[in-house]
Amino acid sequence: MAATTDTLADTPPPGNPVERLREAFNRLDGQQKMGLMIAIAAIIAIIVGTVLWSQQPDWKVLFSNIAEKDGGAIVASLEQQNIPHRMSDSGAIMVPANRVHEVRLKLASQGLPRGGMVGFELMENQKFGTSQFAEQVNYQRGLEGELARTIMSIGSVQSARVHLAIPKPSVFVREEQKPTASVLLNLYPGRGLEPAQIAGITHLVSSSVPQLASSNVTVLDQNGSMLSQLKNKLTEAGLDPTQIKYVREIENTIVQRIEEILKPVLGPENFKVQVAADIDFSQSEQTAEIYKPNSSPETSVIRSTQNNEMASVNQSAGGVPGALTNQPPVPATAPLTTPPTGNTGAPGKPGKPGENQGQVDAAGITAPLNALGQPISTTKNSTTNYEVDKTIRYTKQGMGNIRRLTTAVVVNHRKDVDKAGKPITKPLPEAEMKQINDLVREAMGFNKERGDSVSLANAPFTEITKPDHSLPVWKDPENISYAKDLLKYLLIAAIVAFLYLKVIQPSLKTMFPPPKPEEPTTAEGVAGAAGHVAISGEPGEDGEGAEVHIDHYAVKVQKARDIAQADPKAVANIIKDWMGANAA
């Protein structure tokens, strides 16, 4: 009993872990201490390096192929904003991948990059006393830069250069030289410009310079091909790109209408449609005047009426021709036989006062006389103009009318299964083909007078295997990014596991070796050793002297139970000693 108590008393109670580590470190010799320090330093270095490597960002290109002046301005702005960056071997500026878009927006707000060109900001730094020539040169440089920036906003244009040749105006020159311009475009790989875009660039430059005609603007690409000449050739040949586009739109519209009506009947992959449209782009104007035959006066509209009445005195010729005839008439004298003035009337009847007696001619018609007794001749004319029934027709025929439509439709055979269960195809019946033909005619707006035609064929389709253009899983950029991140974390976990199993755990076993068991000499010693085995989990000896190695907790507990059943008093004394030692 005393030996057991002494053995348990020699075992140091659990204290502060720092003190235990210090005591364990002091028990090591100089070589072990040096090895342990080197191992700890290596572990710390590996852990720090792994953490820094895992936190290192992925670098992506911010800008590439930029001018040196723009590159210097961008680097200065990044350093001012404390944004990490680096230069690649090809001269590209790289920033962390998660900040690419943010940095681009910040630089764009500062007007960077400028594309190696200057705009009208060149005019803001004019020095005092600048000559007119220098001011004109700076203005022309600024205008060229602004035009180049505007052209670069087109999606297919990567960069642009504009050169203006503006002659100096002079009052001593009769025929002034017109300004000209040249535009050099650097297009993105695999992209091109449509004729409408080329025309837009030409008119953009010509509208920005006074008296610059669009025909004096030359547009080139990076290969030296003259794009503006292609546009002029098409225009001279009568090929307007807008007209070609209009024809395609009409054809596509008709094809879409036919497909929409045939899809529910045949299925989307069982027919093909093609339409050719003949469009009339000529424009004509016609003016016609149509006159109807004369109608009766009762139904006609009077336009104007003119009545003329003329009275004249009939003077009979008298006298001898000659000078005497031209003498002025002598004063009139009333003859003795002339009835008194104012008495006129018919022959054989007395005249009434105030009337002149008329002269009776050979026909027995009495002509009126004037105051001198001369006969008066009266003429009356009446003219009536009627409105002419006229129709004026003005006709203007617009361009873009459809002359003729030609439609071709091919329908696939219907799929079926024969008696043996093999898939076969059968042609469609005539009634169904006629129904499809009628549907196509109605959908396209068939016009027989216009000369439209529809060709409908029924033939088996050849199955074409579409190539799979999708990237494999191991080539997908997104999957590659995920794999890199996963590999990074797996590598960190492997390093930590290696350090724990090969470095930390052996070092701990070296610093904290398990206590050696003591051989009991008495029953109490056996009980004490058994109790020590039950608590510490180290191997002890049984009553027969055989060595027992206990590797499992349940086995240890069962061993302690067996000892307690064999000698319960000894176990009780051991527990009392433990409690007394803890109380002390």
Domain range for 22 is: 2-50+514-583
Q: How far apart are alpha carbons 22 and 17 in whole angstroms?
A: 9
With a CB cutoff of 8 Å and minimum separation 6, the contacts of 350 are 343
Q: Is residue 553 part of a domain?
A: yes
Q: In one letter, which amino acid is 396?
A: K
- What is the model's pLDDT at position 338? 47
- What is the model's pLDDT at position 236? 59
Query: What's the alpha-carbon Rg for the chain, to the nearest Å?
Result: 61
212 in the same domain as 155: yes
129 in the same domain as 103: no
Q: How far apart are alpha carbons 83 and 103 in whole angstroms?
A: 8
216 in the same domain as 172: yes
With a CB cutoff of 8 Å and minimum separation 6, the contacts of 550 are 533, 537, 539, 556, 559
Q: Is residue 70 part of a domain?
A: yes
Q: How far apart are alpha carbons 165 and 211 in whole angstroms?
A: 12
Q: Is residue 518 part of a domain?
A: yes
Q: Is residue 463 part of a domain?
A: no
How many distinct structural domains can be found in the chain? Answer: 3
Q: How far apart are alpha carbons 512 and 363 in whole angstroms?
A: 175
Give the single-character DSSP code of 117: -
Residue 104 sits in a domain whose CATH number is 3.30.70.1530
65 in the same domain as 41: no
136 in the same domain as 152: yes
- What is the model's pLDDT at position 194? 84
Closest CA to 370 of 381, 380, 357, 382: 357
Q: Is residue 412 part of a domain?
A: no
Choose the final residue of a domain: 175, 207, 239: 239
In angstroms, what CA-CA distances link 328 with 20, 315, 334, 499?
A: 175, 15, 18, 161
229 in the same domain as 122: yes
87 in the same domain as 20: no
**Bridge partner list, 547:** 541
- What is the model's pLDDT at position 525? 46
Choose the final residue of a domain: 239, 264, 299: 239
Choose the final residue of a domain: 77, 101, 116: 116
234 in the same domain as 160: yes
Q: Is residue 285 part of a domain?
A: no
Q: How far apart are alpha carbons 400 and 282 in whole angstroms?
A: 8
Three-state SS sequence of 130-141? CCHHHHHHHHHH
Residue 152 sits in a domain whose CATH number is 3.30.300.30
Q: Is residue 122 part of a domain?
A: yes
- What is the model's pLDDT at position 248? 92
Q: In one letter, which amino acid is 374?
A: Q
112 in the same domain as 123: no
- What is the model's pLDDT at position 359? 53
82 in the same domain as 174: no
62 in the same domain as 165: no
Q: Is residue 375 part of a domain?
A: no
Contact 32, 510 (CB under 8 A): yes
Q: What is the mean pLDDT of each run of 10 residues along the chain (584 residues)?
A: 41 59 75 76 80 74 79 87 84 84 85 71 74 84 89 88 88 83 91 86 92 91 83 60 87 95 91 93 85 74 83 60 58 51 46 49 57 73 81 84 94 87 88 94 93 93 74 74 80 81 72 56 44 44 42 73 82 79 55
CA dihedral 489, 490, 495, 501 (to 10 degrees): 130
Closest CA to 370 of 287, 433, 314: 314
Q: Which helix (H) or strand (E) holds 310?
A: strand 302-313
130 in the same domain as 34: no
- What is the model's pLDDT at position 316? 54
Q: What is the pTM of this model?
A: 0.44
